[in-house]
Structure 1
Amino acid sequence: MGIIGNLLNLIFGGGRNVVVETAGAFLENAEAGAERGKNVQLAAMAAHSAEFYPAQRGWFDRAMDGVNRLPRPMMALGCLGLVISAMVNPVWFAERMAGIALVPEPLWWLLGGIVSFYFGARHQVKGQEFQRSIAHTMGQVPTVVENLHRLQSLRPREGNPALLDWRKTRG
């Protein structure tokens, strides 16, 4: 072999590529980087799933979920019950409202704060879920736009010749 053959064998011989190995020391391999990114994301999703969606939930967790769902319906039904009781038995209703008038103002502030925090936290959680759903929907926009362009490209450019002839004969 000649000098050029020996040089090429030195660089690319023995099942290795010195140029790629040298470049790999300075540049990230895109394929390996994508694989590492995928592994990181899968690990994060597994950790989130294990923390917030345990495989088997105990009776206490299920009971607490049930208790956490009670305040809003109880308050709504309680208000409806007060309205109905005011119509059915006004004297009984007036006695109860006279008792409520004796509740000190700081206690009303405390009740208002508790209810505000409860519904405020729920509003924040629902708002964040809504933002996530909007982000997911916006992520689908390029695909939808591309599909629309594909569908529009299927439309005939000059119209249906048979339909054009039929229109001419009809007047």
Structure 2
Amino acid sequence: MGLISGLLALLFGGGRNVVRETTEIFRENAESAAQRTTALRSAAMVQFGAEFQVPRKGGFDRFMDGLNRLPRPALALGTLCLFLAAMIDPLWFAARMQGIALVPEPLWWLLGVIVSFYFGARHQIKAQDFQREINQTVLQAPEVLANLATIREFREDSPGIADTRSDAALTEAVIQADFNPALEDWRRLRAA
């Protein structure tokens, strides 16, 4: 008994836990990690809060703060508006995209650099790929307009929509009445 209690006192005695201390060499203590993470987050929040403690002295500071917050929402909402415009008035949208296709490439590069600089570490090649994709989309505009014209022809109020044209078999199938037992019963009841 004395040997076992001596061994346990060696491992766990004196306010120490040799097993836990050895394990923490290989695996992080979750409770200590959570405390460190909480302390780090608290310090970050204090630092972020200190940024807004500086009183703004004039209208110019407030104006510049507001101006700095505009580009991201403006780009996001502008893109959504372009999608809406393409669906509402395809001809108007196609005309605007033709105008964009005429923008010279150096101006696209300049716009790409400005946007890349503003949003941080964006790659210029993405802007060039985007321009190429816009050009391909604009080239599809005539096909889309032709499809819209075809769709308009199939509306139920279009004149001649049920015309069978020169298809004789279809014309004969349309003229011949199908046998409808429910309709025949209804006719008999109406006649009686």
Q: Same fold (TM over 0.5)?
A: no
Higher CA-based Rg: 2
Q: Which has the higher helix share?
A: 1
Higher relative contact order (CA 8 A, sep 6+): 2
TM-score, normalised with respect to structure 1: 0.39
TM-score, normalised with respect to structure 2: 0.35
